[in-house]
Structure 1
Amino acid sequence: MSMSSYQLANVLLAPIVSEKSAALAESNKQFVFKVDKRANKDEIKSAVELMFSVEVDSVNVLNVKGKQKRSARSLYKKSDWKKAYVKLKEGFDIEFATA
Structure 2
Amino acid sequence: MSVIIKPIVTEKLTKDGEVFNRFGFIVEKTANKVQIKKAVEAAFGITVVAVRTMNYRADRSVKYTKSGLISGKTNAYKKAVVQVKEGESIDFYTNI
TM-score, normalised to structure 1, is 0.83
Q: Tell me the residue number matched to 1:37.
A: 29
Unaligned runs of 5+ in 2: none
Q: 1:18 aligns with which of 2, 10, 27?
A: 10
Give ranges in structure 1 of 5+ residues lacking alignment.
Answer: 1-6
Query: Aligned-pair distance for 1:69?
Result: 3.1
Please tell me whether Structure 1 or Structure 2 has the larger radius of gyration of its CA atoms. Answer: 2
Corresponding pairs, count: 90
CA distance in 2, matches of 1:66, 1:24: 26
Larger CA deviation: 66-75 vs 37-46: 66-75
Matches within 5 A, 1:1-99: 7=1, 10-70=2-62, 73-97=69-93
> How many angstroms apart in 1 are the aligned matches of 2:92 and 2:80?
17
Structure with the higher fraction of residues in helix conformation: 1
Q: Encode CA deviations 1:24-83: one digit per residue, 9 max, x unaligned.
A: 101100000000000000000000000000000000000011222346633232221100
Q: How high is the TM-score relative to the length of structure 2?
A: 0.85
Q: Distance in 2 between matches of 1:66 and 1:31?
A: 23
Stretches (4+) displaced over 4 A? none
Q: Distance in 2 between matches of 1:32 and 1:40?
A: 15
Q: In structure 1, what is the Cα distance between the partners aligned to 2:37 and 2:55?
A: 17
